[in-house]
Every structure is written in structure tokens, then in C-alpha cells.
Amino acid sequence: MRSKPETIAHVSVIEYCFSKKQIKGVVQASQFKWTFIWSFNKGLLLVNPPLGRALIEDSLLRFLLKKDYELEAGNEYKFTISAKF
């Protein structure tokens, strides 16, 4: 039986600003690395650079929605993506 493909994504929260209602951070998966800004009051996620963005955007948003109240600036987190990058 084959195991399901997966990639571990590592998230670093750089800034959590409640007055701006946004989180800034970096996410890295395999050889890819992106910066992101999540405006949680608007539900808007901006991911840069665009190269490979489609690989991470949906999974990152699900992670942020699930863990948003647990996230703190300066901390690192990880989650599993059901795909091999």
C-alpha cells in the first residue's frame, strides 16, 4: 500500500497586529518560500511571490482560520499539506 503524498509547511509569524487586524509571516514548504499578509477581519490572504502560490494558498488559509487565536508573533508553527511539492 502506498502512503499518501504530503509536504510539511513551516509558518513563522512575524507580526500580529490586532489594531490593523492582520498577521504577517513567512511560510516555507519544500524548496518554496512565501511571505503572507492575512487580514483576518476581511478574510483576505495575500501571498507573494506568485511563483508556486497556488500550491500553498488554500492550505495556508485553512491553517490560519483554524489556528488564528493561537498564533503569536515570534513563534513558528507547522502543518501538513496532502500533496508532494
Domains in the chain, number: 1
The reply to whether 49 falls in a domain is: yes
The reply to whether 1 falls in a domain is: no
Q: Distance (Å, rounded) from C-alpha 48 to C-alpha 19?
A: 23
The reply to whether 44 falls in a domain is: yes
pLDDT at site 38? 97
pLDDT at 78 over 80: yes
Mean pLDDT value of segment 65-76: 93
- Could you list the residue range(s) of the whole structural domain that residue 26 is in? 7-80
pLDDT at 1 over 70: no
CA atoms within 13 Å, Cβ hemisphere of 25: 27
The reply to whether 20 falls in a domain is: yes
- pTM of the entire structure? 0.90
The reply to whether 35 falls in a domain is: yes
The reply to whether 85 falls in a domain is: no
The reply to whether 2 falls in a domain is: no
CA proximity to 33, closest of 54, 57, 52: 52
